[in-house]
């Protein structure tokens, strides 16, 4: 609940800011849209007991130029990495790799510009989450993760 | 693998999925060199650590709630480190479902944050912690503790106090590791010891400490923290740290938590 309140506050702040700086406001709205969609997806996992981390990774992504985020995970926990991108992105994908850069066994969810990867590590340590834009042009993205 | 598949299939029932075990090629050396680190995601919160250890057998969290508050001095480094340890203590109190302890720890976090001149906006977080504790809303409290820590850090960043942000992160990690290594040492199993394998986190924290201003790096307590992390790094590199190494890790972390709580001693 507090998370959505914060999001509403951010939307309000972006709206106020728009009066003085239209391009920056448009950028903020794009960021918020990606974050809102990623939160919506992660929220589905909350119903299954997953807790959403407060932090998020956002930025710009281009087709066929994947980006990687380092995370440190614990054996025994279960994780979902949820991401969303704004138009013109039409399709994105999320994948998980071990600390040597080899792909691990993970579950995928893909629905156009929204995607997630589910992973239950058997060894604690460093992993990498890959975000790829498969279709569409340069876009804003947001990725966050949940655990239980 | 069986349990892994079970929860995947449970998730499948909740939502349509794209498929199992997607095919991916290995990362290239260039990709490994261009990995992004975002502190609020790359460094796990104590709650994540505690969730993992709870699956090895429910710890007696109530006995782990720290009694007594860290003494604070005029050292901003010590206050920031103590604030970080208190965030971890907040998670312990939540795991113990001890609402009185959560309220007290929330007050102490806000009290220390005020000493570091964070803005009034953080005070609202203190009220939220209090309200959630009053209603025994433990899941909301876990999220609120992380949000409180992030808001304090954001405020510090806005005030160009990045060094304090680093010390809050370090303090929280040290106290979390103190608790988990103590639990593992008390009932050692190879499976639980594997939770302590976190060399990448320690290397990251050491790299952030190396970026502190020279004056702060000369701080005696910061020096103690750095040498404790360097020692910890040698103890958690193996996939399964031995019982001896877990005990040594716990002694090292408990000692530095005590040093943070005491603060620099005036001569």
Q: What is the 3-state secondary structure (H, E, C) of B203-267?
A: HHHHHHHHCCCHHHHCCHHHHHHHHHHHHHHHHCCCCCCCHHHHHHHHHHHHHHHHHHHHCCCCC
The count of structural domains within chain B is 1
Spatial separation of the C-alpha atoms in residues A17 and B155, rounded to whole Å: 19
Quote the pTM value. Answer: 0.82
CB contact under 8 A, A109 and B14: no
* B143-168 residue pLDDT tens: 888 888 888 888 888 878 889 989 99
**In contact, B171 and B250? CB cutoff 8 Å:** no
> From the CA of A65, how many Å to the nearest CA of chain B?
10
* A11-55 residue pLDDT tens: 333 333 333 444 555 566 667 789 999 999 999 998 888 999 989
Closest chain A CA to residue B7: A78
> From the CA of B198, how many Å to the nearest CA of chain A?
5
Instruction: Tell me if B25 is assigned to some domain.
Output: no
CB contact under 8 A, A57 and B21: no
Contact residues on chain B for A101, CB-CB shorter than 8 A: 26-28, 31-32
* A110-148 residue pLDDT tens: 999 999 999 999 889 999 999 999 999 899 999 999 999
Spatial separation of the C-alpha atoms in residues A135 and B132, rounded to whole Å: 43
Instruction: Tell me if B81 is assigned to some domain.
Output: yes
Nearest to B4 by CA among A104, A24, A33: A104
The count of structural domains within chain A is 1
Instruction: Tell me if B84 is assigned to some domain.
Output: yes
> From the CA of B37, how many Å to the nearest CA of chain A?
5
Q: With residue A93 as reference, give the H or E element that holds it.
A: strand A91-97
B32 touching A, CB under 8 A? Answer: yes
Instruction: Tell me if B33 is assigned to some domain.
Output: no
Instruction: Tell me if B114 is assigned to some domain.
Output: yes
- Can you give the residue range of the structural domain that contains B73? 48-261
> And the tokens for B117?
């001149």
Q: What is chain A's percent helix, strand, coil content, to nearest 5?
A: 30, 45, 30
Contact residues on chain A for B28, CB-CB shorter than 8 A: 101
Q: Which residue has the tokens 């716990």?
A: B250
Contact residues on chain B for A98, CB-CB shorter than 8 A: none
CATH code, A30: 2.60.120.380
In the predicted model, is pLDDT for residue B6 greater than 90?
no
Instruction: Tell me if B8 is assigned to some domain.
Output: no
- Can you give the residue range of the structural domain that contains A38? 2-147
């Amino acid at each position: 609940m507090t998370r959505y309140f914060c999001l509403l506050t951010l939307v309000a702040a972006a709206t106020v800011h728009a009066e003085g700086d239209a391009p920056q406001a448009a950028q903020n709205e794009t960021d918020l849209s990606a974050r809102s969609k990623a939160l919506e997806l992660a929220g589905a996992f909350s119903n299954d007991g997953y807790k959403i981390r407060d932090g998020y990774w956002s930025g710009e992504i281009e087709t066929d130029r994947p980006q990687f985020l380092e995370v440190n995970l614990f054996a025994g926990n279960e994780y979902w990495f949820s991401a969303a991108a704004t138009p013109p992105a039409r399709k994105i994908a999320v994948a998980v790799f071990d600390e040597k850069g080899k792909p691990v066994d993970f579950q995928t969810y893909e629905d156009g510009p929204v995607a997630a990867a589910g992973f239950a590590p058997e060894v604690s340590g460093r992993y990498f989450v890959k975000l790829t834009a498969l279709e569409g042009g340069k876009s804003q993205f947001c990725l966050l993760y949940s655990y239980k | 693998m069986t349990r892994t598949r079970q929860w995947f299939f449970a998730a499948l029932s909740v939502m349509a999925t794209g498929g199992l075990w997607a095919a991916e090629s290995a990362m290239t050396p260039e990709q490994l060199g261009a990995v992004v680190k975002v502190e609020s995601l790359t460094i796990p919160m104590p709650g994540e650590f505690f969730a993992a250890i709870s699956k090895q057998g429910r710890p007696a969290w109530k006995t782990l709630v720290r009694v007594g508050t860290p003494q604070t001095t005029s050292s901003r480094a010590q206050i920031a480190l103590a604030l970080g340890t208190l965030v971890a203590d907040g998670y312990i109190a939540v795991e113990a479902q001890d609402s009185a302890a959560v309220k007290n720890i929330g007050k102490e976090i806000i009290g220390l944050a005020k000493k570091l001149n964070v803005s009034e906006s953080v005070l609202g977080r203190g009220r939220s912690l209090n309200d959630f504790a009053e209603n025994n809303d433990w899941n909301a409290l876990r999220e609120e503790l992380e949000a409180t820590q992030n808001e304090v850090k954001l405020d510090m960043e806005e005030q160009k106090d990045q060094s304090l942000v680093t010390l809050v992160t370090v303090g929280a990690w040290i106290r979390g590791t103190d608790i988990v290594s103590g639990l593992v040492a008390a009932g050692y199993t190879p499976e639980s010891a594997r939770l302590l394998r976190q060399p990448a986190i320690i290397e990251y924290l050491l790299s952030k400490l190396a970026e502190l201003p020279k004056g702060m790096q000369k701080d005696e307590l910061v020096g103690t923290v750095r040498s404790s992390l360097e020692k910890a790094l040698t103890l958690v590199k193996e996939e399964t740290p031995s019982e001896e190494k877990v005990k040594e890790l716990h002694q090292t972390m408990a000692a530095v938590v005590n040093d943070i709580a005491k603060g620099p001693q005036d001569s």
